[in-house]
């Protein structure tokens, strides 16, 4: 019977496989000493995914690009931690922004799961700190203008109408109006023309004229989109 050396890690009685270590200890060593420093691998410790951009794998690179932090949205632990955090900070009285430390969703806003549904964390904070809004269509507006940076400071939040919230965003310089949303393929002038033609043509015909769907026309006319534009 051929002799097999034992793993060189003290206390391990398994046979050595690579570099004098058993498979388990070798894999742990490789993860901590090779993958963590391999320039072809993600720079996040314990990830080791293939390099994509900015020194990170695709998933971490996307978070780094969106939030400046490759671990953004990963700091939550137990399922109830986000809601507990909101309850514990509902009476926070600091002046500086209070950044949401858990999952980050679209446009940089924090998200939290409540009642089986994913909601905007700052809105839930506003409900806990200031009560429900007079009208469910009202927005949780940020006086700091940093909602897109996941601010959840209750002192920065208040209930406001959509137009009031848009006015705040324009004042803070964070509002991207329809004119700049190139992906929509529309301009202020086209939106005004769509509304002017309402009642004189079928919505399908208006849509065909401007290359948009009848549903899009319906939403524009009824101010479900571009509602801020007079």
pTM score, whole prediction: 0.50
Under the banding of pLDDT at 50, 70 and 90, the label for residue 90 is very high
How far apart are alpha carbons 15 and 8 in whole angstroms? 9
CB atoms within 10 A of CB 10: 5
Q: Is the pLDDT of residue 34 over 60?
A: no
Q: Which residue has the higher pLDDT, 65 or 109?
A: 109
Q: Using an 8 Å Cβ cutoff, are 13 and 7 in contact? A: yes
Reported for 67-70, long-range contacts at CB under 8 A and 24+ positions apart, including other chains, are 67/104, 67/108, 70/43, 70/44
Task: Give me the torsion for CA of 12, 13, 14, 17, rounded to 10°.
Answer: 70
Write out the residue range of the structural domain in which residue 211 sits.
178-221
Q: What is the pLDDT of residue 224?
A: 78
Report the Cα 112 to chain-centroid distance in Å: 11
Eight-class DSSP state of 183 = G
CB atoms within 10 A of CB 224: 11
Q: Is the pLDDT of residue 156 over 80?
A: yes
Has residue 59 been placed in a domain? no
Cβ-in-10-Å burial (0-12, 13-18, 19+) of 184 comes to: middle
Could you report how far apart the first and last alpha carbons of the chain are, in Å?
89
The tally of domains found in the chain comes to: 2
Q: What is the pLDDT of residue 141?
A: 93
How far apart are alpha carbons 51 and 208 in whole angstroms? 45
Residues 147 and 163 in one domain: yes
Average pLDDT on 125-152 reads 92
Residues 195 and 213 in one domain: yes
Most confident of 52-56, 111-115, 182-186: 111-115
Residues 194 and 138 in one domain: no
Q: Is the pLDDT of residue 36 over 60?
A: no
Q: What is the pLDDT of residue 31?
A: 63
| 131-143 residue pLDDT tens | 999 998 899 999 9
How far apart are alpha carbons 26 and 15 in whole angstroms? 11
| 42-78 residue pLDDT tens | 766 666 677 777 677 777 777 766 655 666 654 444 5
Has residue 16 been placed in a domain? no
Has residue 11 been placed in a domain? no
Q: What is the pLDDT of residue 73?
A: 54
The alpha-carbon radius of gyration of the chain (Å, integer) is: 26
Under the banding of pLDDT at 50, 70 and 90, the label for residue 210 is confident
Residues 134 and 216 in one domain: no
């Amino acid at each position: 019977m051929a002799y097999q050396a034992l793993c060189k890690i003290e206390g391990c009685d398994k046979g050595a496989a690579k570099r004098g270590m058993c498979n388990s200890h070798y894999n742990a060593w490789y993860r901590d000493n090779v993958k963590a420093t391999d320039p072809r691998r993600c720079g996040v410790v314990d990830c080791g995914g293939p390099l994509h951009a900015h020194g990170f794998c695709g998933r971490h690179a996307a978070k780094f690009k969106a939030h400046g932090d490759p671990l953004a949205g990963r700091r939550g632990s137990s399922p109830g931690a986000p809601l507990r955090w909101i309850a514990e900070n509902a009476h926070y009285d600091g002046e500086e922004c209070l950044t949401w430390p858990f999952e980050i969703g679209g446009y940089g806003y924090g998200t939290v799961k409540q009642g089986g549904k994913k909601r905007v964390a700052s809105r839930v904070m506003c409900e806990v700190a200031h009560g429900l809004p007079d009208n469910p269509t009202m927005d949780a507006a940020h006086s700091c203008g940093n909602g897109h940076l996941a601010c959840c400071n209750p002192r920065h939040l208040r209930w406001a109408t959509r137009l009031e919230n848009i006015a705040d965003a324009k004042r803070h310089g964070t509002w991207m109006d329809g004119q700049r949303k190139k992906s929509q393929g529309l301009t202020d002038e086209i939106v005004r023309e769509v509304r002017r033609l309402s009642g004189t043509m079928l919505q399908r015909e208006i849509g065909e004229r401007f290359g948009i769907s009848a549903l899009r026309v319906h939403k524009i006319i009824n101010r479900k989109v571009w509602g801020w534009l007079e």
